Amino acid sequence: MVEIATVATFGVAAVASLFMAWSIGAGSSGSTPFAPAVGANAISVMRAGFFVGLLGFSGAVLQGANVSEAVGRELVRNVSLSPVAATIALTIAAVLVATGVFAGYPIATAFTVTGAVIGVGFAMGGDPAWAKYQEIAALWIATPFVGGGIAYLIARGLRDEPVPESYVVVLLAALVGVLFANIEFAALGPAGEGASIAVAATDYLPLSRAAAVALATAAVALAWAIPVGIAMRNDPERAQRRFLLAMGALVAFSAGGSQVGLAIGPLLPLSDDVGLPLVALLVGGGVGLLLGSWTGAPRMIKAVSQDYSSLGPRRSIAALIPSFAIAQMAVLFGIPVSFNEIIVSAIIGSGYAATGAGGGVSGRKMGYTVLAWVLSLAGSVVVSYLGYVAVTWLL
């Protein structure tokens, strides 16, 4: 039988987790996915906040397990987070993220949560998880260069004359279809595991596994490319805006799958004590993301869409495609990643493809943002470490 004290301490940590989920929904996962679409005038700020909340909730439930496990169990070795440690880590990280929301600067949520969990874990006597840190650092460092570089190339391809724009857009739609066919969903796999559309199709196709995956991937790619191709022939501008909105929806879904783990991951060791299944935590975290998107995201949507670059539909599409790919890679390998870093880097890459130096990107704004990212990681480690030491001393 679960002790009342255990349930009570879990409840306190759960409140901190809900606050963290709200902060994430109001910040990175609620603002960045549709920011390029808002910047391109494809959707209003308020509608973007509404839809990103629903899509983020869906992504949290269907794709949130991997990152949650990584944040809750893989950042520090030889210790399991206590209720006090989880509460301190979540509260400090949430305060930092919320401060960024109201100040108008996108604090990197993954940096703050990762740093906070590591800080309290070290304070408890845990050891560094160097292998996991190498994975995380590799993705964090590569994201600006890979995401920004791909966005730059796509934006240049859409702008240059040698290849007709309609062909490039259709090819990009097919590429998105290939990615979509191979991302994992919890509902398609066996209990406790996920599976992609392409892999799930192998159960229904009388072919070898490799042939079935290839055929299913090609079918999904055509399902994306053909409607886009028809729409481009009829009304290219309208087709681009619809494609842009579809990409925003995919990125918003991916944001939920990645970011919910930052909110509920520290609760995993505690949930084992009270017998709460992971899916219940994912639903609770998804609700927090949804509420944050509906109540706090519009401010950050404006900041990202208008302050960083003057975006059009082409550059917005160029920014969202690599963002979707990087986000799904992070979900697949269970790596906490900042959506602010992903989207902002891609916006800069597509911005530099525009005519003129920098493509309208604010260098001063970016300088403050990068500084905020660095300080949020280092500061959350130090503050969480000292906070845990102080609280345990007082108790």
d(CA 89, CA 102): 20
pLDDT of residue 177 exceeding 90: yes
Measure CA 153 to chain center. Answer: 22
pLDDT band at residue 6 using 50, 70 and 90 as cut-offs: low
Q: What is the pTM of this model?
A: 0.86
b/e per residue, 233-253, with b = 16+ CB within 10 A? eeeeeebbbbbbbbbbbbbbb
The percentage of residues in the chain with a pLDDT greater than 70, rounded to a whole number, is 87
Q: What is the pLDDT of residues 23-74, one digit of tens each?
A: 788 776 666 777 777 776 778 878 888 888 899 999 999 999 899 999 988 9
d(CA 244, CA 320): 8
110 vs 351, residue with greater confidence: 110
- The pLDDT of residue 308 is 46
Q: Which two tokens stand for residue 102?
A: 């109201």
Q: What is the pLDDT of residues 118-167, one digit of tens each?
A: 999 999 999 999 999 999 999 988 998 999 899 988 888 887 667 677 88
